[in-house]
Structure 1
Amino acid sequence: MSELKKIDKIEIRSEEVQDILGATPRWIIRAGISVILLVVVSLLIGSWFFKYPDIIQSRITLTTQNPPASLIAKNSGKITNIFVSEKQVVKQNQIIAIIENTANYKEVLKLETLLNKQKENSLLIDSINFVLGELQQSYSAYSRLLHAYNNFKELDYYNKKIESVKQQKRDFKLYYDRLWTQRGMKEQELKLAKQQFERDKSLFEKDVYSKSDFEKAEKTYLQEKLSFENIRTTLANTQMQINQLDQQILDLQLQESKEQNRQEIAIDEAQQNLKSQIKQWKQRYLIISPIDGKVTFTKIWSKNQNVQTGEIVATIIPKKATDIIGKVEIPAIGVGKVKLGQTVNIKFDNFPYMEFGLLRGTIKSISLIPIQTENGAIYTAEIEIPDTLISNYGKHLKFSQEMTGTADIITDDIRLLERFLNPLKSIWRNNIE
C-alpha cells in the first residue's frame, strides 16, 4: 500500500515537472528574438558598409617601354663563334655569335662593305677570290658581269671607234677646205675662159677667126667649165661623207650608251640579288644585337653548342632605363567591365605576396580589337606601374625584365548587400516582370 502511494507521488511530481518544463518563459522568447533580430540587422548594416571587389584575374608580364630584345636562332646548327661575354655592353648591329655554315663570315662581311660602295670598289671586288659557300653562285654571276663591264670600260671600244671616225671627219674636212680653195681658183679660171670664149666668138662672127679656131676656143671653155663642175661635185660628195661620219658618230654613241646601260642594269640586278642573299645569310647564321644594351645568355654560353630554330640564344637588356609597364591578356568574356584607370592588384611569382605584399597599378590602355588564340579571343591591356616598385607592405621589389605574376583587375567595389541582392534582382527582372 505504501509502495502504491509512492508511485502516485512520483507520477504526480513528474507531471508537475513536465508542466513547468513545457511552458517556456516569455522573457526568454523575447530575448532570443531580440538577439536574432540584432544579428540580422547587424549583418544587413555590415553588408551595406563592407564592400567585396569584383575582379577579373589574368597573368601579367613586366617589361619597359623599350623592351629587351630576344635574339632568336633562325637556323639549327652549332655555334662556331661567340664574340661577347655575359653581361657585356654591346652596340646596335654588333655580332654576338655565329651559327655554323659553309661561308667564311669575314669575307662575306668584307664583300658586303665593298658592295655598299660598288662603283669605287668594282676593280677590287673583281680582283678578289672570295670564299662564300652557299653565296658563291650568286657572287659568281655578279662577278662575271662586273668583270665583263670592267673589260668593256678598259677596252673603251666605242670611244676609240668614235675617235677614229672623228679623225676621218677631220681629214675630210681638211680635204673639203682644200677643194673649196680650188673651187675659187677654178671659178676664176672659168670666168677668164668665158671672157676669152666671148671674144673669140665675136671674132668668129666677124669672120676674123676660122671655125676650127673657134671650136678650139669653145672646147677650152667647156673643159674649164667641166673642171669647175667636177670640183663642185667633189665638194658635195665630201660634204655627204662628212655628214655620214657625223651620223656614224651618233650611232656609235647611242650603241655605247645602250651597251653601258644594259651592262649596268644587269650588274645592278645581280648586285641587288647578291645583297639580298647576304642579308638572308646574315639572318640565318649571324646573331646580331638590334639595340644598344647589355647581353645575357640563356641556354648558350660557349662555342660548339647546338641551337635549334626558334631557340633564344641571348637577350639584350636596353642600356637606357625607361618606364616600367605591365602587359596583361584579358579574356573577351567580361572585358566590357574593364575601364581605363581601374586599380590592378599584382602578385609576382618570384615575390610571394603573403611575405612581400602586392603592387598596385592602373589600367593605362586596352586594345580595340581582340586577338584570336587557342583559348579563345583575348584583349591586351597595358598596366601603368609605379617606378619605385614599393609593395603595400612597404618592401621594394627588385625589377627584372619579363618578370611575371597574377593581376587582379578590380572592375567594381560592390557592397555585400548588393552582391546578395543581385541574383534576386536578376530572377525578378528576367522571370517576373
Structure 2
Amino acid sequence: MAINQNSMPTITQPTPPPQLNGHVPKKEVVIRSEAMQEIIDRKPDFMDKWAVIIFLTGLCLLFASTWFIHSPNTVEASAYLTASDAPKEIFSRQEGRLIRLWGHNDDTVAAGQVIGWIESTADHASVADLSIRLDSSLRLLADGRTNKVSKLFEKHYNHLGELQTAYQTFITALQVYNDYLVNGFYNHKKQLLKNDISSLQQINTSLLNQEKMTNEDIQLAEESFNMNNSLLNEKVLSREDLRQAKSKLVNKRLLLPQLKTTMLANEIQQREKQNEIDMLEHDLTQQNIIFQQSLQTFRSTIEDWEMKYVIKSPIDGVLSFVVPLQDKQFLQAGKLLGYVNPTGTQYYAQLNLPQNNFGEIDTGLQVQLRFYAYPYQEFGFVPGTLNYVSKVATDSGFIATIRLNNGLETNHHIRMQYKTGLKAKAVVITRNMRLPQRLYFSIAKAIRP
C-alpha cells in the first residue's frame, strides 16, 4: 500500500548545533508536508480576518431588526359589514339585448334616471313620453285643473307593443271623461237644470204675490158681507142679495187652497230639479274617480313594463358597474350589473365579542377586518376602530361596532365593493407589542414561579 508523503505528519528530529570551540551544538530539524507548508506560507485574506466579526455584526443586526416586527396581543371574532345609506344594487330583471346604454362608470345619477334600455316589442321613446304625460295628468287632477288633462293625450301612440291594449282601454275611459267635462255635457245639462229651477222660483214668487192679493180680496169680500148682513137686519137688503154676497166670499176663499196646491207642486218641481243636479254631480264625481282609477291602472302597467325593460338608478349617487357593458350586449335575467354609491355613506362592521379576554377590550382599539371574499394575503385588511361595546352580553357574546377609518379601502390601497352582510374575521389589537417584547414577556412568564 503506497503512502502519500504529503499527508504524513511533520517529524521533528534533533539537529547538531554549530561547532563552537570544538563542541557541536544540538539543532532541531523541522520537516513539514507540502500542504501544511503551503498553508503556513499563504497570507490570510479579508474573509479570514473579518469573517467572525461580520457574522457577529449580522447577528446583532438581525436581532435589532426584530424590534420592527410587531407581534401584538389580539382577540379574534366574527364580523359582518353594514352601512347607513348603503349602496344599491342594479339588476337586469329581463333577459334580452341591451339596445341602449345611457350611463357609464363614475357618472353622477339621480334617483329614477334611466341607465339603459332592454329590448322589447314597445318603442322605449314612446313609452317614456307617454309616462311623462301620465305623471303630468296626475298632477293636474290633484290641482283641480281637469280641463287641461285631455290636451295631454291629443297625440296618438301606435308603437306600444304589449302596452297597446292597456292604452286603448285608457283612451276609452278618457273619451267618456271628456264627454262629461271637456265637451260640455255636464256644464250644459247643469245649466239647463239651473234655468229650470230659476223659472220655478219666479213662478213661486208670482204665486206668493197672487196669494197675498187673494187674501186682500177675501178680506174686502168679508167686509162687504158683514155690511150686507147689517143691512139685512135693518130690513134694507133682501136675503137674496145676502146669499149672493156670501157666494162671492166663498168663491174667493176657494182660491187659497188652489194656490197652496200650485205652490206645493212648484216646490216639488224645484226639489226634483235640484235632485237631478245632485245626481249629475254624483255622476261627475264617479266619472272622475273611474278616470283616475283608469289612469292609475295604466300608470301601474307602464311601471311594470319599465321594471322589466328599463334600467333605472334606485337612488342619487355615483354609478359603478361590476361588469363591462355596451350596446347590443345580451343580458341574463337577474344579473348584477353594478351599484349606485350614494354620497356620504358611512360603512361600519358589527361583531360579537367572546368573553375570553373581554377585560382587555375597550373602545378606541384598532381592528383589522379580513374579509373572506377578499383573501387577506392578496388584498390586505380594512383598518378600523372599535367605537362601541355593549355592556350587556347576549347569547352570542357582546355586541360591538367598528368604524372603518378609510371606508372600504384596504391597507394595500385596494377599493372593495360594498355588499350587505359581507363576512370577515375581526382581529382586535388589545396590546401592540414588538417581537423582542413578546420574547421577554414569554421568558419572564416561563421562569416566574
Q: Say yes or no: TM over 0.5.
A: yes
Secondary structure at 1:302 match in 2:
coil
Mapping 1:22-421, distance limit 5 Å = 56=76, 65-103=84-122, 104-119=126-141, 120=145, 121-125=148-152, 127-130=154-157, 132-153=160-181, 154-156=184-186, 157-199=189-231, 201-202=232-233, 206=235, 214-215=239-240, 217-299=241-323, 301-318=325-342, 320=343, 322-323=345-346, 325=347, 327=349, 341=363, 343-346=366-369, 360-363=383-386, 383-387=402-406, 397-402=413-418, 407-410=425-428
SS at match of 2:115: strand
Contiguous gaps of at least 5 residues in structure 2: 1-69, 432-437
Q: Give the superposition deviation at 1:60.
A: 7.0
Offset of 1:289 from its aligned partner?
1.5
Give the aligned residue type for 1:361.
Answer: G
Query: What SS does the corresponding residue of 1:296 show, helix, strand or coil?
Result: strand
Change (3 A) 1:405 1:169: closer
Relative to 1, partners in 2 of residues 1:220 and 1:74: Cα closer, same or farther, differing over 3 Å?
A: same
User: What is the CA–CA distance in structure 2 between the aligned matches of 1:133 and 1:381, rounded to whole Å?
Assistant: 55
- The CA distance in 2 between the partners of 1:161 and 1:291, in whole Å, is 54
Q: How far apart are 1:347 and its partner, in Å?
A: 5.3
Q: Which amino acid aligns with 2:367?
A: V
Q: TM-score, normalised by structure 2?
A: 0.61
Cα deviation, residue 240, structure 1: 1.0
Aligned partners of 1:253, 1:314: CA distance in 2, in Å?
59
Change (3 A) 1:163 1:145: farther
> Residues 257 and 313 of structure 1: is their aligned pair in 2 closer, same or farther, counting only changes over 3 Å?
same
Quote the offset at 1:228 in angstroms. Answer: 0.9
Over 3 Å counting, the alpha-carbon distance change for 1:167 and 1:295 in structure 2 is same
3-state SS in 1 of match to 2:319 = strand
Q: Which amino acid aligns with 2:111?
A: Q
Kept after mapping to 1: 8 A contact 2:408/2:416: no
Q: Alpha-carbon deviations, 1:198-222, whole Å to 9, x = none?
A: 42x235xx4x66xxx532x134213
CA distance, structure 1, for counterparts of residue 379 and residue 289 of structure 2? 68
What's the counterpart of residue 374 of structure 1?
none
Q: Which of the two has greater helix per residue?
A: 1
Q: Is contact 2:362-2:386 (8 Å) kept?
A: yes
Work out the CA distance in 1 between the residues paired with 2:408 and 2:172: 63
Q: Number of aligned pairs?
A: 348
Q: 2:379–2:414: 8 Å Cα contact kept in structure 1? A: no
Distance of aligned partners of 1:271 and 1:130 in 2 relative to their CA distance in 1, 3 Å threshold: same
With normalisation by structure 1, the TM-score equals 0.63
RMSD after superposition: 4.6
Whole-angstrom CA distance in 1 between matches of 2:113 and 2:393: 37
Q: Relative to 1, partners in 2 of residues 1:344 and 1:198: Cα closer, same or farther, differing over 3 Å?
A: same
Change (3 A) 1:264 1:344: same
Where does structure 1 lack aligned partners over 5 or more consecutive residues? 1-49, 371-376, 421-433
Q: Is the 8 A contact 1:122 1:146 kept in 2?
A: no
Contact 2:101 2:327 in 1 (8 A): yes
1-side partners of 2:338 and 2:136: how far apart? Answer: 30
CA distance in 2, matches of 1:295, 1:388: 17
Q: Distance in 2 between matches of 1:380 and 1:134?
A: 53
Residues 350, 123 of structure 1: alpha-carbon distance in 2 compared, 3 angstrom cutoff = closer
Distance, in Å, in 1 between the alignment partners of 2:399 and 2:275 is 68
Query: SS state of the match for residue 129, structure 1?
Result: coil
Q: Are the aligned partners of 2:214 and 2:256 in contact in 1 as well (CA < 8 Å)?
A: no
